Amino acid sequence: MKDFELSPAPKLATYHAVGDLKPILLAFLQLDTRLAQFVSQAKEPMLTQMRIAWWRDQLGKPAPERPNGDPVLDSLSKHWLGEETALIAMVNGWEGLLAEPPLPISAALEFAEGRGKCFAAMARLTACGEAADASQALGEAWALADLAARMSSAEEREFVVEAARKRPNVITPVPYKLRALTILGKLGGRALQDDGRPLIRDRKDLLLVTRVGLFGR
């Protein structure tokens, strides 16, 4: 699957995903990117909701009953068997962002929880189930930072950052093979500490990616 549509932080993370994590992570990020495109281009909210609902419906079906031909859905059917509930939680989180502004705090937290559940699922899918909770925390940190960076309104960005700061900020180390998830979580935590700025901004962020890629933390 091509990754040229991924934003900088996820793209850098995929470079450090190896073994069975790589196709699992790529499939997740491709779905996440597609949902982001739906929401960012939501000139007709009803049509966007229909597109999002299609994904929820397909992921709720047994894999053999899903249509073939969509590369993202095909990859999810291959690599995410048994963890579709987490993907559906992420789909619901993206749908919640269609709420009328100002964005409700409940929508921001649901979005973070949905991505976090997918990080926990990736730990289980790669035989690292003992790190599921820690992985979820990484996913939630990345989600809230990414959401804040996407906000065009400074007021809404501050709102998301403040909500993130009220949450526990303890990042527990995860196995080395999950270092791609650590990269996203640590970049997210750093961006939130700096008022929701972009996850990749300067040389220090690139050095963090390199360090975690080499040492896992």
The full set of domain ranges for the chain reads: 9-215
Reference 118, options 70, 180, 170, 173; nearest CA is 180
Give the tokens for residue 5.
């549509």
Mean pLDDT comparison of 44-53, 75-84, 159-168, highest-scoring range = 75-84
Which range (19-33, 36-50, 172-186) has the least confidence?
36-50
Q: What pLDDT, on a 0 to 100 scale, did the predictor assign at position 2?
A: 43
Q: What pLDDT, on a 0 to 100 scale, did the predictor assign at position 129?
A: 96
Are 157 and 151 within 8 A, CB to CB?
yes
Are 186 and 209 within 8 A, CB to CB?
no
Q: What pLDDT, on a 0 to 100 scale, did the predictor assign at position 168?
A: 72
Read off the pLDDT band of 140 (50, 70, 90).
very high
Condensed to tens digits (0 to 9), the pLDDT of residues 78-127 reads: 999 999 999 999 999 999 999 888 888 899 999 999 999 999 999 999 99
Read off the pLDDT band of 1 (50, 70, 90).
very low
Reference 54, options 40, 33, 70, 78; nearest CA is 70
Percent share of the chain, pLDDT over 70: 97
Q: What pLDDT, on a 0 to 100 scale, did the predictor assign at position 4?
A: 46
